[in-house]
Amino acid sequence: MQLINISLSGIVRVKRKFVLALFLLFIIVLPVITGFSPGKRKPYKNYVLLVSLDAFRWDYPDLYNTPNLDILGNDGVRAERMISSFPTNTFPNHYSIATGLYPDHHGLISNSFPAPDLGLFYRIGDREAVENPDFYGGEPMWVTAEKQGVKAASFFWVGSEAPVGGMHPTYWKKYDESVGYGERIDTIVKWLGYPEQNRPELLTLYLDEPDATSHDFGPVSAETGEVVMRLDSLIGALRNKLSSLPYGDRINLIVISDHGMASVSPEKYINLKSLVPDRMIASISGGNPVYLINPAEGKADSLLLLINRASGVRAWRKSELPSKWHYGTHPRIPEIVVVADSSWSIGTRPSAFSNKGAHGYDNYNPDLFSIFYAAGPSFKKNYSFSELKNTDVYNLVCRILNIKPAANDGNRKNIRKLLR
């Protein structure tokens, strides 16, 4: 009986050693099989190319012929709509996409605005302001990438021309609208063709249409349709060039827009100066359809009353803005925010604008919804979903590149459904 007990205990010890050996082997082999090791980047590289088509409205693929975007959606994922941030203007939204922060949190509160914290004024056409990192809060995705050893490149993107956090992307360009779209695409492909040690894994590309055309002719027009179809063909050409690269199957292409576009009419125009006398205004900045006003001392209540008596426009104290806008806490936002109703225009001159399209309105106005298409090794195939917020794009890019995101306003739960 004694011998049997010894034998059984020996068997148990052998089994324990065998299980321990299997466990250790599993720990060693698992990273090799899956390509994942906790705290380390994958041994193979995933690339992300983020392309923005300025003011490409969510329903343009339904209004116009866009076969290449349709194929992109079938090959990957497509949102019915992407929700822009308020105000639905180019600079605030491109930087929200880059940082995952609302404009109220990253500080680029409009296309033009006074910054009393800096004693400066920001204008999108002012090179000194555009290149001044003090205007840009948060951490854009290319800085997040570069900090973690991932090379980034930008052929135009809001914020990429300023050394935010003391850093530029490894490769970047000063904005020059005269550079043709073909040259922009060819440069992106050239960067992706660099030797691996010099090759960027994160790239951004900005195309400034159909914004200008839809401003001039309206979102629903033959002219806008023509530009939309041209952009669609460029997306097709870009995908062909990417597929010709030896590692083209590792490139994740994401095509988005910053905001949509609403139709406006000269019959629906309001001159703010006709509603409020100059003596009530200490300063005013912005442009249709959002103006930012510092009232003269003691005139805030009167100013609000006069503006809100008019049809087609609404004024709020910054502390009372709709909560869905996530806007009104940044010190650069003055006391009064004025926003035109949908299809209305506001300004500070007697005559109406000649434009037939405008943006900047409530970001939950369907005319201001934008697009989101993506395909590549990280995405599901032929998957459609209803909605994504543009503050979620930052986390999505970080997840694909396996880098740690900085603090942001996105919700990581929103991107899980898109990924394999």
Q: Give burial (CB, 10 Å; 0-12/13-18/19+) of 296.
A: middle
pLDDT > 90: percent of the chain? 88
Per-residue model confidence as pLDDT tens digits over 171-182: 999 999 999 999
Asked whether the predicted pLDDT for residue 67 surpasses 90, the reply is: yes
Per-residue model confidence as pLDDT tens digits over 189-230: 999 999 999 999 999 999 999 999 999 999 999 999 999 999
Q: How far apart are CA 355 and CA 352, in angstroms?
A: 9
pLDDT value for 45: 83
Looking up tokens 């917020």 gives: 389
Which structural domains are found in the chain, ordered by start? 47-262+363-416 (3.40.720.10), 269-354 (3.30.1360.180)
Q: How far apart are CA 119 and CA 134, in angstroms?
A: 11
Mean pLDDT of 93-101: 98
Mean pLDDT of 133-151: 98
265 is written with which tokens? 């009419």
Mean pLDDT of 124-151: 98
174 is written with which tokens? 């000063």
Give the type of residue at 189: V
140 is written with which tokens? 């854009």
pLDDT value for 7: 46
pLDDT value for 39: 43
Catalytic center residues? 90
pLDDT value for 16: 55
Predicted confidence band of residue 282 (pLDDT cuts 50, 70, 90): very high
Give the type of residue at 143: V
pLDDT value for 5: 44
pLDDT value for 12: 41
